[in-house]
Amino acid sequence: MKKATALILALIFILSVPAAGFAGETLSGEQNGVIWTLTEDGTLTLTGEGQLDDYPSPWDSFSEMITKANISAGVKVGRYSFWSCENLEEINYDITYEELFDFYVPYGCVLHIKNEGTAVLTKPGNSYAKEYGYKELRTLFGKINFSLETSYTVKPSASKPYAIGKLDRKTLDNMLNEINFFRAVAHVDSVTDDETLNELAQAATVTNAAIRQLTHYPDKPDGMSDSMYELGRRGASSSNLAAGYSLLGSIQGYLEDSDSGNISRVGHRRWVLSPYLGKVGIGSTGSYSALRVFDESNEKADAQFTAWPGGNRIFPAEFFYPSYAMSVQVYGDCDFTENASATITRLKDGKKVTVNKNTKGDGAYFNVDTGGYGSSRALIFRPPYDSFGFYSGKYNITVTGVTGRMGLPVKISYDLVFLPVDSTLGDVDGDNRVTASDARTVLRCAVKLDYMPGTLNAAADCDFDGQITAADARLILRAAVNLEKPEKWYSDLL
């Protein structure tokens, strides 16, 4: 009995002794050039230069004792260095947001970095995508043949006997030119078409046309074979669909996406501009068209966010109107908080409008969608219609209420310049010259004696104030008599 009591007391004594080295001492070690020290107060300090192994950490045996970690800039921790540190409350890492990478942070632990709360994401789209200058963008736009009629190598039939049909190469290439022009504007990669995906998109249009209904979930048309219907069903459920547009016009419709049925998601837009999109399918039957977009084959995509309008610094002014919603799509760890807001600033006069969930006014709109349309999260916003007139010249868009990598607060801020791509600045009569006739037309519109088509507003607004005035007519007249060069008007914006 005495022996048993002595053994129990010995065990109690052993269990109550602090871990080796913690009788007022400091534990330390080295791994791959990284020096680690752990003091009695629970502070882990990492210095030196090197990459720690992902797992296990060299302090794994003492992980429960760690409450705070201080990490110097030369250290790259392993992905699971703190996996077992259940009592870790604070990590102070001497790196910037731009240098930050993914690693495990225990639940409830707070991460602090060098530029915490001030990191700004400034470049929409994939980091490696080409930046187009103004002339380059106009050249790219010039590759689209808007007068080319849709033609087929095999004609489709939406009535018995049904035929899927096949678009010819000229039509497909022209569509790719348009799609890739707008993707270049968004600063994401070009896409290619795929024969199998083209067949799915083509079958989707035949199936929709056969039942005379635009739907992602079509019923089987009477007399259509099971195999053809299956292709149509699969194509319709994985494509953007349009009716009543030309084939080229459907892309512009997808990007607008601001009608009452689509503005809450702008899902068609998000699919067309997805940075992960690599291959598409294109189909058309009568007034029905389809763009097969369920694809993530661009594995090199690295976008943290995309924007519309935005991406490439220069944006084609003809393709964005005050009635269109703006949107910012985020990827990876980025997300929007309940306090998200967007501020649009016209840099010419400093006028700014902030849009958030409380914004009122005719046309004002705000929503965060998490539906996963080409991106899992999107902020959709539109200032009141009368905020800026039409969009012309240089703007900044800043979005706050955003979290980024590791849940840290960031903001998104980018500039863009609205310039015409389908016409020369100052040329409103389409003769590719700036003449006194253009000045006369603009002056008549300024005094409400004539009407300027919306597509020409940006060409007429030479001083970039979002309206057509006598001042614009004066600039155009000076250019017509060689006292001004139109390039001078926008060169400072670029």
Q: Are residues 151 and 259 in the same domain?
A: yes
Q: Could you tell me how far CA 32 lies from the centroid of its own chain?
A: 38
Q: Are residues 286 and 311 in the same domain?
A: no
Q: Flag whether pLDDT at 116 surpasses 90.
A: no
Of all residues in the chain, what percent carry a pLDDT higher than 70? 95
CB of 179 closer than 8 Å to CB of 186: no
Give the mean model confidence (pLDDT) for residues 145-151.
97
CATH code of the domain in which 402 resides? 2.60.40
The predicted pLDDT at position 333 comes to 86
Give the mean model confidence (pLDDT) for residues 178-193.
98
Tell me 267's DSSP state.
H
Q: Flag whether pLDDT at 61 surpasses 80.
A: yes
Domain housing 33: 2-116
How many domains does one find in the chain? Answer: 4
Q: Flag whether pLDDT at 23 surpasses 90.
A: no
Q: Are residues 394 and 443 in the same domain?
A: no
Q: Is 489 left (phi over 0), alpha (psi -120 to 50) or beta?
A: alpha
Q: Are residues 45 and 187 in the same domain?
A: no
Residue 300 domain flag:
no
Q: Are residues 138 and 282 in the same domain?
A: yes
pTM (2 decimals)? 0.88
The predicted pLDDT at position 238 comes to 98
Q: Are residues 189 and 316 in the same domain?
A: no
Separate counts of helices (H) and strands (E) for the chain:
11, 24
Give the mean model confidence (pLDDT) for residues 228-252.
97
C-alpha torsion sign, points 414, 418, 419, 421: positive
Residue 164 domain flag:
yes
The predicted pLDDT at position 21 comes to 46
CATH code of the domain in which 147 resides? 3.40.33.10
Residue 86 domain flag:
yes
Q: Flag whether pLDDT at 352 surpasses 60.
A: yes
Of all residues in the chain, what percent carry a pLDDT higher than 90? 90
Q: Flag whether pLDDT at 22 surpasses 90.
A: no
From 292, 327, 344, give the residue that closes a domain. Answer: 292
pLDDT band at residue 423 under the 50/70/90 scheme = very high
Residue 430 domain flag:
no
From 116, 151, 172, give the residue that closes a domain. Answer: 116
Q: Taking every pair of C-alpha atoms in the chain, what is the biggest distance, in angstroms?
A: 117
Give the mean model confidence (pLDDT) for residues 114-135.
92
User: What pLDDT digit, counting tens, does each position of 337-348 carry?
Assistant: 999 999 999 999
Element housing 412 (H / E): strand 409-419
Q: Flag whether pLDDT at 425 surpasses 70.
A: yes
The predicted pLDDT at position 376 comes to 82
Rounded distance, CA 48 to CA 31, Å? 10
Element housing 34 (H / E): strand 34-38
The predicted pLDDT at position 182 comes to 98
Residue 185's identity, in one-letter code, is V
C-alpha torsion sign, points 369, 373, 378, 381: negative
The predicted pLDDT at position 24 comes to 59
The predicted pLDDT at position 383 comes to 98
Q: Are residues 104 and 203 in the same domain?
A: no
Lookup: tokens for 485 = 């060069």
Give the mean model confidence (pLDDT) for residues 96-104.
92
From 50, 84, 116, give the residue that closes a domain. Answer: 116
The predicted pLDDT at position 10 comes to 40
The predicted pLDDT at position 77 comes to 97
Q: Are residues 373 and 240 in the same domain?
A: no
Q: Are residues 148 and 218 in the same domain?
A: yes
Q: Are residues 288 and 312 in the same domain?
A: no
Rounded distance, CA 194 to CA 172, Å? 10
Rounded distance, CA 119 to CA 115, Å? 6
Q: Which residues of 279-296 are buried (b: 16+ CB within 10 A; e: fewer)?
A: bbbbbbbebbbbbbbbbe
Residue 428 domain flag:
no
CB of 236 closer than 8 Å to CB of 290: yes
CB of 441 closer than 8 Å to CB of 472: no
Residue 281 domain flag:
yes
Rounded distance, CA 208 to CA 10, Å? 83
What is the residue-averaged pLDDT of the chain?
Answer: 93
Q: Are residues 47 and 143 in the same domain?
A: no
Residue that is written with structure tokens 């024969």 in the block:
195
Residue 129 domain flag:
no
Q: Are residues 233 and 257 in the same domain?
A: yes
Give the mean model confidence (pLDDT) for residues 307-332.
96
Residue 431 domain flag:
no
* Nearby residues of 440 by Cβ (< 8 Å), 6 or more positions away: 473
